[in-house]
Structure 1
Amino acid sequence: MSVPESKSVKQELQELRTTVRYLTDRSAILDCVMKQARGHDRHDIELMAGVYHADGVDEHGPAVVPGPEYGEHANTAHASVFVDHLHNITTHTCEIDGDEAHCESYVIGAMRSRDGKSVHLFGGRYLDRVERRAGAWRIALRRCTLEWTMNGDTSLLASGAFNGFIKGAWDTSDPSYARPLDLEETPVRRW
């Protein structure tokens, strides 16, 4: 009975390098997708523009916008109808092939209307082609699907039940930008 030959150190190191490269790329790609969602919810144009390549494109319904300009377009559209929103990335899959990756990210968007009484929930997916150029993963093409919608009542927010809770901001005054985040010194708006 022969004992199987163990892998050489060189083979093990190559496998380890391949695994680390995959995990590093996967993490960078997910960070890119998440930064775009955060930029959306803070109306941070610079953050949103930075996740697209200069020639990147974003398709949201009938709007096909150059990626670096998408933040300004989205902020204007959202501010005309909503007072705040949250984009929640849930299921995320990613197929990496060298310097190109194809991703599918489920998104649930909650958008509170200007009437102060209603919230609209949207479920869809971001279908992304992400490319590594000059060492950075960015979106080359994003296509957005819409799968379902529903509406709800947000009048509870005005009832006083949430008095004292921190209220987010659509800019970099949001406490998530504070460094260091501090209980006493970080300015916040409250319900």
Structure 2
Amino acid sequence: MNPHRRGLIVDDDDLYARTLQRSLARRGIDSGIAHDAAAALAAAEAERPDFALIDLKLGNDSGLALIAPLRALRPDMRILLVTGYASVATAVEAIKRGADNYLPKPTTLDAILRALDEDAGAADPAEVEIEDTMTPLGRLEWEHIQQALQASGGSISGAARLLGMHRRTLQRKLAKRPGPERRTID
């Protein structure tokens, strides 16, 4: 990748976005961060980035909806969807909407850079593959619980209702937090 290129990271997870930004900076690549669709479009309009790394879920927004407007702003922009909710269906949809590539989280910086460097025409929706590595069930459950907690404003009772479980069961699950998070950016 040309180290003089500028990128845009669109992710509502501030820790992940900043970690990725620092990792790119260590490789000599400057990038901005946006946490929602409106901020992403404003940043892309102002900065005209060479590439965009977009998360699928942006709070109430979908990263898929950003692909076409970003492509319209700059047709040669490389667009990569990076998501913790990977599926073949969303990969195909992202490519159909104009994304250049698709990676499931967690991923490495090297994988992101390789995906951004691939030829724009290389991603055929019929040939999109998701890595064979499965996210552990405990990790998926933990992320689902965190999503429910966020949706309920941090209320354990509210999250338990959203998840269809007893409040005490949720409290036990929260007490048994899975091992260290797999943030393998660099």
Say which one has the larger Rg: 1
Instruction: Give the TM-score range, shorter chain.
Output: under 0.3
- TM-score normalized by the length of structure 1: 0.24
More strand by share: 1
More helix by share: 2
- TM-score normalized by the length of structure 2: 0.24
